[in-house]
A = this chain, B = another copy of it.
């Protein structure tokens, strides 16, 4: 096991009806800005419910955070907060709204130079307005971590940033809010969570038994519950298991003391920035090919994953086990109804050079747990993903 530090101060409030605790979590006297996305929460009544819970506070609203939240939109929020002096933020939505809120929370206090530097400086963000979360879409894990990803539209760039000030003070996770999600968002959420786990697990073994088994437990849960969520849209336990798995998938715990990969994510970010595919759609295309191309480096973990998660017969020849394991993984993505090749998105070989150039321009020339995913390797992965 590698040395590590782990700390996660976010308070999780989980379960049906827990929105009733909202006003207990926000200090009295705060001026609260409610931040959301396309406005679904108006239709579902959640916004009204939140306003009712916060009737003793001065509140305001800032809607319109887009999927893959943009610097351009978020800076409007920053200006609004500075003008109106809000001092507490409440993100109501999924990863995009939470990530956007994290950027806004930090940028409001970053007055000395360009807030875009929060993203490009690669330094831990230590100051931000306090904020809470009401989660409506399990996927990103942003509700219980100190990271975020935002996009600057004008330069087609999507980049991550992080820091101790970016942990939510609290997150309310009510699985019932996911009943009204379109299937596509459930699928994206399950795939996104699945790959989050894989980026922290599918590397090389360091004999970290707890972390490995936690990862395997989360993967098995998503494999079991993902298809169920599409069949039965109001099964509370299924939605609860997916929601908790998605949160645990990316809160620092399974990453503790193990190598991490993240190359699929970095390539995926470029694809989203260049072509607008959903984050999960990019992952579902890239990840199976990445496993195929990197299968020698990842052999031991692939065998372990195949045996423990897919019950692959351990008496099979190793090569056969590995190929069957990759097949099962791609098969799970297809069972969930997500596309696993560029062609299905009407994209062809012309995207390859652009994606690689974009990665290189962001300094990402040595990706993966061993830094061996060079532009040449990415090319192979992309060719295999057509």
Binding site for B on A (CB under 8 A): 1-18, 207-211, 213-214, 216-218, 220-221, 224-225, 236-237, 240-241, 244-245, 248, 256-257
Minimum CB–CB distance for A254 against chain B, Å: 10
**Given A1-B237, A7-B11, A214-B214, 18 new contacts (CB under 8 A):** A1-B15, A3-B16, A5-B12, A5-B14, A6-B11, A6-B14, A12-B256, A14-B256, A14-B257, A207-B237, A209-B221, A209-B225, A209-B245, A210-B218, A213-B217, A213-B218, A214-B217, A244-B257
Would A241 and B209 count as touching, CB distance under 8 A?
yes
Would A207 and B241 count as touching, CB distance under 8 A?
yes
A224 vs B212: C-alpha distance in the bound complex, in angstroms?
14
Closest to A211 in B: B244
Minimum CB–CB distance for A233 against chain B, Å: 17
Minimum CB–CB distance for A28 against chain B, Å: 18
A3 vs B241: C-alpha distance in the bound complex, in angstroms?
12
A208 vs B15: C-alpha distance in the bound complex, in angstroms?
12
Minimum CB–CB distance for A311 against chain B, Å: 12
The 5 closest A-B pairs by CB, nearest first: A3-B15, A213-B217, A7-B11, A207-B237, A1-B240
Minimum CB–CB distance for A215 against chain B, Å: 9
Name the B residues within 8 Å of A16 (CB-CB): 3
**6 pairs from A and B in contact (CB 8 Å cutoff):** A5-B14, A7-B12, A209-B220, A210-B248, A214-B217, A217-B217
Name the B residues within 8 Å of A2 (CB-CB): 15
Closest to A21 in B: B5
Name the B residues within 8 Å of A8 (CB-CB): 8
A6 vs B211: C-alpha distance in the bound complex, in angstroms?
19
Minimum CB–CB distance for A197 against chain B, Å: 11
A16 vs B1: C-alpha distance in the bound complex, in angstroms?
10
Name the B residues within 8 Å of A211 (CB-CB): 244
A245 vs B224: C-alpha distance in the bound complex, in angstroms?
25
Name the B residues within 8 Å of A220 (CB-CB): 209, 213
Minimum CB–CB distance for A278 against chain B, Å: 25
Minimum CB–CB distance for A224 against chain B, Å: 7
Would A5 and B11 count as touching, CB distance under 8 A?
yes
Name the B residues within 8 Å of A224 (CB-CB): 209
